[in-house]
Amino acid sequence: MIGNPKWFSRRKYTGWGFTPKTWQGWVYIAVIMLPIAIVASVNPEGTWTSVFLIIWALVFAVDFIHIMVGMRKDERERIHEAIAERNALWAILAVLIFALAYQTASGIAAHALTPTFDPFILAAIIAAVIAKAATNIYLDRKN
């Protein structure tokens, strides 16, 4: 593909993805961002602008996935990443459960026993439970 995994390192402290570690990585990021800025500023409302930006985003999304898959990690890095991902998931779930409880309680207080809440929060919690269950079933059967 276009980018080289050697140009990047795994982002450890500021979210997910990768960070440029060589000058080639920084040029790669600039090559992605510069046409987006130019096209969006020249004709922000045009149909061709939207089509170009969608195609541009798809090409680089595939390339980003290629870079992420190509990044080499040793066993220690894999374990650290798995622990970090697990802890991030627990934090996300705690916030979602609190938000669901808060919205439900606010809905009951405001509408006299009619709970109202954002169904996407509930869907996210259910999706997390399903993903965890499916993963455990798969891993149990694999062993």
Q: Please report which confidence band the pLDDT of residue 3 belongs to, taking 50, 70 and 90 as the band edges.
A: confident
Query: For 33-47, how does the pLDDT look when each residue is reduced to its tens digit (9 = 90+)?
Result: 888 888 878 776 777
| 53 and 88 belong to one structural domain | no
Q: Is the pLDDT of residue 23 over 90?
A: yes
- For 81-96, the pLDDT digits (tens) are 788 888 888 888 899 9
Count how many Cα atoms sit within 13 Å of the Cα of residue 58 in the half-sphere of its side chain. 6
Give pLDDT, residue 116: 74
Domain boundary among 15, 37, 72: 72
Structural domain for 96, as ranges: 76-142
One domain, residues 50 and 93? no
Answer yes or no: are the C-beta atoms of 73 and 81 closer than 8 Å: yes
pLDDT score at 1: 67
Task: Mark whether 89 and 128 lie in a shared domain.
Answer: yes
Q: Please check whether residues 94 and 64 belong to one and the same domain.
A: no
CA nearest neighbour of 20 among 12, 30, 9: 9
pLDDT of residue 26: 92
> If you average pLDDT over every residue of the chain, what do you get?
83
Token pair of 5 as six digits: 């995994």
